[in-house]
Amino acid sequence: MRVIKIFFFMAAVLTVLSIFWTFFYFVIGLVAEIGSFSLNPLAHHIISSILGIFLFAVIGDLISHLHKPKRLNYFQAIIQALRQIAKGNFEIELDASLTPPGLNVKSNPFIQLADSVHYMAKELSQIERVRQEFISNVSHEIQSPLTSIKGFAKALESDGLSDEERRHYIRIIESESDRLSKLSDNLLKLTVLENNRHPIRFEAYRADRQIRQVLLTLEPQWNRKKLDMRIKLEAVTLIADQELMNQVWMNLIQNSIKFTPEQGRITIRLFRQKNGTVFQVSDTGIGIREEDRIHLFERFYKADKSRNRTNGGNGLGLSIVKKIVDVHHGSIRIASEPGQGTQFTVSLPVLSESGNEPAIGK
Ligand SMILES: Nc1ncnc2c1ncn2[C@@H]1O[C@H](COP(=O)(O)OP(=O)(O)OP(=O)(O)O)[C@@H](O)[C@H]1O
Ligand SMILES: [Mg+2]
């Protein structure tokens, strides 16, 4: 195809050159006749050729100048658009009429360039939106415990408080401070995980023992609510980052304790499957509506904001869990019925000792 194009191009150039040469050949002949002077045939040929080539160059230059402004306009438009993007204005619109004519729209490099600039602007505006949302969420999560700490500290100043009231206010201040400190801790964890800065230490260890330890730590919480804890843990050796996995068990079990009313039941299972290990937490708690379920792994998402106020969560736990499960090449599923209960299932593939590549199922 390309060879044919080159062939036709060369043929056109030669044809035009021949026409110009012929034209000057006759003009010079005519001039010699009118001027009644004789011209050497070789000089006649050379002068006609030079003039023909000269005319060809002038016309070629004119044609390329006719196209040039359009091309320049186009680059100017793209440069302007990039400058706007650099300043943070992502609402750019490149004028399609400035596009220089091309052979076909898809392969036209100018259109591809404009498309890429549009795509970049769209992606950057999305990142900016997420960033703004994140800042507003963080501010809100900081502001609400601070307001409450300030309010109760002020209340403590007033006279005539009973010891009971005083203790109650102090407890609230303590728990709100804990919430603030947990927020900063979780934000740090999330940032480190999202930037892939956490050095993941894969090592073989007994996951069932680790989960038992987590349950022991949380005992005061499930005891207080008189929950019926059913625990079935197979002896499973996991190759994973112990510290990170601890957060997965901790948050999932803590959630089910938080969102299950008194005397409810929580079932925790750990078992082997053909392709790896499965960890399951089921509760008879408040459940999660379908419209909330799809957002649960988003940062700061809380299904029931008013209830969460008393539970003291920031809505970061599940996004951290998801990140950790992802770095272990696993998956997490939710099954829930509002008012009936929730089940979280974490499936982890078998990982090789040396790295994080799944040895099975890849
Ligand atoms: N077992 C569960 N039953 C009912 N709702 C749940 C359950 N687990 C999570 N949720 C809902 O998902 C939301 C997000 O959970 P996540 O663990 O991310 O945040 P949190 O527990 O509120 O706060 P944090 O974990 O940061 O302390 C919770 O606020 C709650 O609305
Ligand atoms: Mg949580």
The 10s digit of each residue's pLDDT in 331-355 is 999 999 999 999 999 999 998 776 5
Contact (CB, 8 A) for 361 and 348 = no
CA of 153 to the centre of ligand 1 (A): 29
Q: What are φ and ψ of residue 237, in 5° steps?
A: -95, 125
Q: Where do we find the tokens 């505006």?
A: 125
CA of residue 168 to ligand 2 center, whole Å: 24
Contact 279, 348 (CB under 8 A): yes
> Do the bridges between strand 276-283 and strand 341-349 make them parallel or antiparallel, or are there none, so unpaired?
antiparallel
For residue 360, name the pLDDT band (cuts at 50, 70, 90). very low
Q: Among 285, 268, 276, which residue's Cα sits nearest to residue 342?
A: 285
Atom of ligand 1 nearest to the CA of 301: 14
Digit-coded pLDDT (tens) for 86-122 = 998 888 887 666 565 554 566 677 788 888 898 999 9
What is the pLDDT, as a whole number, of residue 71?
Answer: 67
Please tell me the residue having the least CA distance from ligand 1 atom 31. 303
Using CA atoms, how far apart are residues 69 and 283, in angstroms rounded to an integer? 70
Residue 193 is predicted with a pLDDT of 87
Q: Rounded to an integer, what distance in angstroms lies between the CA atom of residue 350 and that of residue 362?
A: 11
Indicate whether residue 315 lines ligand 1 (CB < 6 A). yes
Give dist(CA 64, CA 72) in Å, integer.
12
Atom of ligand 1 nearest to the CA of 341: 3
End-to-end, the C-alpha distance of the chain in Å comes to 43
In this prediction, residue 38 carries a pLDDT of 81
C-alpha span between 270 and 278 (Å, rounded): 6
Helix (H, G, I), strand (E, B) or coil at 23: helix
Task: State which ligand 1 atom lies nearest to the alpha carbon of 315.
Answer: 19
Pick the more confident residue, 99 or 263: 263
Strand partners, 232: 269
3-state secondary structure of 36: coil
Q: What is the mean pLDDT of the chain?
A: 88
Phi first, then psi: give them for residue 105, nearest 5 degrees. Answer: -60, -40
Bridge pairing between strands 265-273 and 228-233: parallel
Q: Distance (Å, rounded) from C-alpha 332 to C-alpha 334?
A: 7
**349 CB within 6 A, ligand 1:** no
